[in-house]
Amino acid sequence: MSAVRMDGKMVSAKVRGSILDEVNRLKKRGVRPGLAVIIVGEDPASQIYVRNKERACEECGFYSEKYALPEETTQEQLIGLIEELNHNPHIDGILCQMPVPAHISEQAVIDAIDPTKDVDAFHPVNVGKIMIGDFDFLPCTPAGVMELLDEYGVDPKGKKCVVIGRSNIVGKPMAMLLLHRHGTVTICHSRTENLKEVCAQADILVAAVGRADFVTADMVKEGAAVIDVGMNRRENGKVTGDVCYDEVNEKAGYLTPVPGGVGPMTITMLMKNTLKAAKLHAGIED
Protein backbone atom coordinates (compact mmCIF):
# COMPACT_ATOMS: atom_id res chain seq x y z
CA MET A 1 0.00 0.00 0.00
CA SER A 2 1.60 3.29 -1.10
CA ALA A 3 1.40 6.56 0.82
CA VAL A 4 -1.10 9.27 -0.08
CA ARG A 5 0.83 11.70 -2.31
CA MET A 6 0.52 15.21 -0.91
CA ASP A 7 0.26 17.23 -4.10
CA GLY A 8 1.69 20.71 -3.53
CA LYS A 9 0.95 21.83 -7.09
CA MET A 10 -2.74 21.06 -6.70
CA VAL A 11 -3.05 22.67 -3.25
CA SER A 12 -1.00 25.66 -4.38
CA ALA A 13 -3.26 26.26 -7.40
CA LYS A 14 -6.30 26.12 -5.11
CA VAL A 15 -4.83 28.67 -2.67
CA ARG A 16 -3.71 30.98 -5.48
CA GLY A 17 -7.22 30.86 -6.92
CA SER A 18 -8.65 32.07 -3.61
CA ILE A 19 -5.95 34.78 -3.38
CA LEU A 20 -6.84 36.04 -6.88
CA ASP A 21 -10.55 36.18 -5.91
CA GLU A 22 -9.68 38.28 -2.87
CA VAL A 23 -7.34 40.55 -4.86
CA ASN A 24 -10.15 41.20 -7.34
CA ARG A 25 -12.42 42.22 -4.45
CA LEU A 26 -9.69 44.47 -3.01
CA LYS A 27 -9.13 46.18 -6.36
CA LYS A 28 -12.76 47.37 -6.25
CA ARG A 29 -11.80 49.14 -3.02
CA GLY A 30 -8.74 50.72 -4.63
CA VAL A 31 -6.22 48.30 -3.09
CA ARG A 32 -3.75 46.22 -5.12
CA PRO A 33 -1.09 44.20 -3.27
CA GLY A 34 2.46 45.14 -4.31
CA LEU A 35 5.63 43.08 -3.90
CA ALA A 36 9.22 44.25 -4.46
CA VAL A 37 11.82 41.54 -5.06
CA ILE A 38 15.51 42.41 -4.81
CA ILE A 39 18.28 40.17 -6.14
CA VAL A 40 21.97 40.96 -5.77
CA GLY A 41 24.41 39.17 -8.08
CA GLU A 42 24.00 36.35 -10.59
CA ASP A 43 23.32 33.23 -8.48
CA PRO A 44 21.53 30.86 -10.95
CA ALA A 45 19.24 29.24 -8.34
CA SER A 46 18.23 32.68 -7.06
CA GLN A 47 17.43 33.81 -10.62
CA ILE A 48 15.02 30.88 -10.98
CA TYR A 49 13.34 31.61 -7.63
CA VAL A 50 12.90 35.28 -8.56
CA ARG A 51 11.35 34.38 -11.93
CA ASN A 52 8.93 32.03 -10.18
CA LYS A 53 7.95 34.79 -7.75
CA GLU A 54 7.33 37.21 -10.62
CA ARG A 55 5.08 34.64 -12.30
CA ALA A 56 3.19 34.03 -9.06
CA CYS A 57 2.57 37.79 -8.71
CA GLU A 58 1.07 37.88 -12.20
CA GLU A 59 -1.09 34.85 -11.45
CA CYS A 60 -2.43 36.40 -8.24
CA GLY A 61 -3.07 39.84 -9.76
CA PHE A 62 -0.36 41.61 -7.73
CA TYR A 63 1.68 44.65 -8.68
CA SER A 64 5.38 43.74 -8.62
CA GLU A 65 8.75 45.41 -8.98
CA LYS A 66 12.07 43.63 -9.48
CA TYR A 67 15.44 45.14 -8.61
CA ALA A 68 18.40 43.21 -10.08
CA LEU A 69 21.52 44.70 -8.53
CA PRO A 70 25.13 43.93 -9.54
CA GLU A 71 27.35 41.71 -7.38
CA GLU A 72 29.46 44.70 -6.30
CA THR A 73 26.50 46.58 -4.77
CA THR A 74 27.49 47.78 -1.30
CA GLN A 75 25.55 47.03 1.87
CA GLU A 76 24.81 50.76 2.21
CA GLN A 77 23.37 50.91 -1.32
CA LEU A 78 21.18 47.85 -0.71
CA ILE A 79 19.88 49.15 2.62
CA GLY A 80 19.26 52.54 0.98
CA LEU A 81 17.01 50.83 -1.60
CA ILE A 82 15.18 48.94 1.17
CA GLU A 83 14.59 52.24 3.04
CA GLU A 84 13.05 53.72 -0.14
CA LEU A 85 10.77 50.70 -0.51
CA ASN A 86 9.81 50.89 3.17
CA HIS A 87 8.30 54.30 2.40
CA ASN A 88 6.80 53.39 -1.01
CA PRO A 89 2.99 53.27 -0.62
CA HIS A 90 2.63 50.96 -3.65
CA ILE A 91 4.81 48.26 -2.06
CA ASP A 92 3.30 46.05 0.65
CA GLY A 93 5.97 43.36 0.74
CA ILE A 94 9.76 43.50 0.37
CA LEU A 95 11.77 40.38 -0.32
CA CYS A 96 15.54 40.31 -0.67
CA GLN A 97 16.56 37.01 -2.26
CA MET A 98 19.13 35.15 -0.19
CA PRO A 99 22.00 34.46 -0.30
CA VAL A 100 23.45 37.93 -0.80
CA PRO A 101 27.15 38.36 -1.69
CA ALA A 102 29.58 37.69 1.19
CA HIS A 103 30.43 41.38 1.76
CA ILE A 104 26.80 42.09 2.74
CA SER A 105 25.39 41.05 6.13
CA GLU A 106 22.17 39.05 5.68
CA GLN A 107 21.04 40.03 9.18
CA ALA A 108 21.57 43.73 8.47
CA VAL A 109 19.41 43.38 5.35
CA ILE A 110 16.66 41.56 7.26
CA ASP A 111 16.78 44.13 10.07
CA ALA A 112 16.40 47.00 7.57
CA ILE A 113 13.05 45.78 6.22
CA ASP A 114 9.95 47.31 7.83
CA PRO A 115 8.41 44.43 9.87
CA THR A 116 4.99 45.21 8.33
CA LYS A 117 6.52 44.62 4.87
CA ASP A 118 8.63 41.61 5.89
CA VAL A 119 6.69 38.99 3.92
CA ASP A 120 9.42 36.39 4.47
CA ALA A 121 8.79 36.75 8.25
CA PHE A 122 12.53 36.81 9.03
CA HIS A 123 12.67 40.13 10.95
CA PRO A 124 13.29 39.64 14.69
CA VAL A 125 9.95 41.38 15.45
CA ASN A 126 8.06 38.84 13.34
CA VAL A 127 10.12 35.93 14.69
CA GLY A 128 9.17 37.04 18.21
CA LYS A 129 5.50 37.26 17.25
CA ILE A 130 5.62 33.70 15.90
CA MET A 131 7.18 32.55 19.17
CA ILE A 132 4.28 33.90 21.25
CA GLY A 133 1.65 32.85 18.70
CA ASP A 134 0.41 36.37 17.86
CA PHE A 135 1.70 36.84 14.31
CA ASP A 136 0.80 38.63 11.10
CA PHE A 137 3.14 36.68 8.81
CA LEU A 138 4.52 33.16 8.85
CA PRO A 139 7.76 31.96 7.20
CA CYS A 140 6.69 30.70 3.80
CA THR A 141 7.97 27.11 3.86
CA PRO A 142 6.64 26.12 7.31
CA ALA A 143 3.34 27.85 6.49
CA GLY A 144 3.17 25.84 3.27
CA VAL A 145 3.73 22.62 5.21
CA MET A 146 0.86 23.47 7.57
CA GLU A 147 -1.40 24.22 4.60
CA LEU A 148 -0.61 20.80 3.13
CA LEU A 149 -1.29 19.04 6.44
CA ASP A 150 -4.64 20.83 6.68
CA GLU A 151 -5.60 20.02 3.10
CA TYR A 152 -5.01 16.31 3.69
CA GLY A 153 -6.63 16.24 7.13
CA VAL A 154 -3.46 15.54 9.10
CA ASP A 155 -4.04 17.21 12.47
CA PRO A 156 -0.91 17.73 14.64
CA LYS A 157 -3.01 17.88 17.84
CA GLY A 158 -1.70 15.37 20.35
CA LYS A 159 0.64 13.82 17.75
CA LYS A 160 4.37 13.19 18.08
CA CYS A 161 5.98 15.58 15.62
CA VAL A 162 9.68 15.42 14.72
CA VAL A 163 11.50 18.13 12.76
CA ILE A 164 14.95 17.25 11.42
CA GLY A 165 16.87 20.51 11.06
CA ARG A 166 17.09 23.64 13.22
CA SER A 167 17.52 26.48 10.74
CA ASN A 168 15.91 29.85 11.41
CA ILE A 169 14.14 29.65 8.05
CA VAL A 170 12.51 26.21 8.35
CA GLY A 171 13.38 24.03 11.35
CA LYS A 172 12.73 26.37 14.28
CA PRO A 173 9.57 28.07 12.95
CA MET A 174 8.25 24.70 11.74
CA ALA A 175 8.53 23.37 15.28
CA MET A 176 6.70 26.44 16.65
CA LEU A 177 3.81 26.11 14.20
CA LEU A 178 3.34 22.43 15.08
CA LEU A 179 3.51 23.36 18.76
CA HIS A 180 0.87 26.11 18.29
CA ARG A 181 -1.35 23.39 16.82
CA HIS A 182 -0.89 21.24 19.94
CA GLY A 183 1.67 18.81 18.54
CA THR A 184 4.30 17.32 20.88
CA VAL A 185 7.44 18.47 19.10
CA THR A 186 11.03 17.24 19.00
CA ILE A 187 13.72 19.08 17.02
CA CYS A 188 16.56 16.87 15.79
CA HIS A 189 19.92 17.99 14.41
CA SER A 190 23.49 16.86 13.79
CA ARG A 191 24.16 16.33 17.51
CA THR A 192 21.00 14.31 18.20
CA GLU A 193 21.66 10.88 19.68
CA ASN A 194 19.62 7.88 18.48
CA LEU A 195 18.26 9.95 15.58
CA LYS A 196 16.79 6.93 13.81
CA GLU A 197 14.84 5.83 16.90
CA VAL A 198 13.55 9.35 17.59
CA CYS A 199 12.33 9.78 14.01
CA ALA A 200 10.72 6.33 13.96
CA GLN A 201 8.35 7.44 16.76
CA ALA A 202 7.00 10.42 14.80
CA ASP A 203 3.40 10.60 13.60
CA ILE A 204 4.48 13.66 11.58
CA LEU A 205 8.08 13.77 10.35
CA VAL A 206 9.45 16.91 8.67
CA ALA A 207 12.84 16.55 6.95
CA ALA A 208 14.72 19.83 6.40
CA VAL A 209 18.41 18.92 6.37
CA GLY A 210 19.48 19.50 2.78
CA ARG A 211 20.97 16.03 2.28
CA ALA A 212 19.69 13.77 -0.49
CA ASP A 213 18.11 10.47 0.64
CA PHE A 214 18.85 11.20 4.31
CA VAL A 215 15.56 9.78 5.59
CA THR A 216 15.28 6.03 4.97
CA ALA A 217 12.36 3.68 5.61
CA ASP A 218 13.79 2.47 8.94
CA MET A 219 13.46 6.05 10.27
CA VAL A 220 9.74 6.19 9.50
CA LYS A 221 6.84 4.96 11.60
CA GLU A 222 4.23 2.89 9.76
CA GLY A 223 1.50 5.23 8.52
CA ALA A 224 3.31 8.48 9.43
CA ALA A 225 2.95 11.73 7.48
CA VAL A 226 6.38 12.50 6.01
CA ILE A 227 7.05 16.03 4.76
CA ASP A 228 10.15 16.46 2.61
CA VAL A 229 11.40 20.06 2.60
CA GLY A 230 14.75 19.15 1.00
CA MET A 231 15.73 20.43 -2.43
CA ASN A 232 18.98 18.80 -3.53
CA ARG A 233 20.53 18.37 -6.96
CA ARG A 234 22.11 15.05 -7.94
CA GLU A 235 25.18 14.81 -10.17
CA ASN A 236 22.91 14.12 -13.16
CA GLY A 237 21.13 17.43 -12.45
CA LYS A 238 17.94 15.79 -11.18
CA VAL A 239 16.26 17.48 -8.21
CA THR A 240 15.62 15.26 -5.21
CA GLY A 241 14.55 15.67 -1.60
CA ASP A 242 15.88 14.58 1.80
CA VAL A 243 13.69 11.46 1.82
CA CYS A 244 14.29 8.16 -0.03
CA TYR A 245 10.95 8.49 -1.79
CA ASP A 246 10.49 4.99 -3.19
CA GLU A 247 11.22 3.07 -0.01
CA VAL A 248 9.45 5.50 2.36
CA ASN A 249 6.45 5.54 0.02
CA GLU A 250 5.80 1.89 0.95
CA LYS A 251 5.69 2.66 4.67
CA ALA A 252 4.35 6.21 5.19
CA GLY A 253 0.68 7.12 5.29
CA TYR A 254 1.26 10.50 3.61
CA LEU A 255 4.30 11.72 1.67
CA THR A 256 5.26 14.86 -0.23
CA PRO A 257 7.09 14.41 -3.55
CA VAL A 258 10.13 16.44 -4.63
CA PRO A 259 9.63 18.35 -6.82
CA GLY A 260 5.91 19.16 -6.61
CA GLY A 261 5.37 18.97 -2.85
CA VAL A 262 6.45 21.71 -0.46
CA GLY A 263 8.19 23.81 -3.17
CA PRO A 264 5.08 25.22 -4.89
CA MET A 265 3.52 25.92 -1.49
CA THR A 266 6.43 28.14 -0.39
CA ILE A 267 5.90 30.78 -3.10
CA THR A 268 2.12 30.60 -2.66
CA MET A 269 2.52 31.40 1.05
CA LEU A 270 4.65 34.39 0.06
CA MET A 271 1.66 35.59 -1.98
CA LYS A 272 -0.62 34.99 1.02
CA ASN A 273 1.69 37.07 3.25
CA THR A 274 1.78 39.90 0.69
CA LEU A 275 -2.02 39.91 0.50
CA LYS A 276 -2.16 40.08 4.31
CA ALA A 277 0.34 42.97 4.31
CA ALA A 278 -1.76 44.89 1.76
CA LYS A 279 -4.85 44.47 3.93
CA LEU A 280 -2.95 45.59 7.05
CA HIS A 281 -1.65 48.69 5.28
CA ALA A 282 -5.14 49.51 3.99
CA GLY A 283 -6.69 48.94 7.43
CA ILE A 284 -8.91 46.12 6.13
CA GLU A 285 -9.80 43.60 8.83
CA ASP A 286 -11.82 40.96 6.94
Res 202 pLDDT > 90:
yes
66 as an active site residue: the answer is: no
| 48 band by pLDDT with thresholds 50, 70 and 90 | confident
Confidence of residue 43 (pLDDT cuts 50, 70, 90): confident
Question: Residue 59: is its pLDDT beyond 80?
Answer: yes
Among candidate residues 97, 118, 159, 228, the one labeled active-site is 97
Q: What is the pTM of this model?
A: 0.95
- The one-letter code for the residue type at 107 is Q
Does the domain at 30-114 match CATH 3.30.1280.10? Answer given as no
Give the residue-averaged pLDDT of 177-205. 98
For residue 34, the cross-strand partners are 63
Binned at pLDDT 50, 70 and 90, residue 49 comes out as: confident
- The CA-based diameter of the chain, rounded to the nearest angstrom, is 57
Assess whether pLDDT exceeds 80 at residue 286: no
What's the pLDDT score for residue 154?
Answer: 98
**Tens digits of residue pLDDT in 250-278:** 999 999 999 999 999 999 999 999 999 99
- As a whole number, mean pLDDT of residues 208-225 equals 97
Edge-to-edge, what's the strand order for the sheet holding 34-40?
Answer: 63-69, 34-40, 93-96
On whether the CB atoms of residues 161 and 204 are closer than 8 A, the answer is yes
Annotation marks residue 120 as catalytic: yes
The domain made up of 140-263 has a fold known as Rossmann fold (3.40.50)
pLDDT (average), residues 116-139: 97
Q: Which residues of the chain form CATH 3.40.50.10860? A: 30-114
* Catalytic one of 92, 117, 118, 120: 120
Confidence of residue 39 (pLDDT cuts 50, 70, 90): very high
pLDDT surpassing 80 at residue 31: yes
CA dist., res. 224 & res. 200, Å (int) = 9
Which part of the chain is CATH 3.40.50.720? 140-263
Distance separating alpha carbons of residues 135 and 168, to the nearest angstrom = 16
Catalytic residue among 53, 221, 272, 279: 53
Per-residue pLDDT tens for 1-24? 799 999 999 999 999 999 999 999
Instruction: Verify whether residue 75 is a known catalytic residue.
Output: no
Measure the CA–CA gap between 46 and 95, rounded to whole angstroms: 12
Q: How many CB atoms lie within 10 A of CB 71?
A: 11
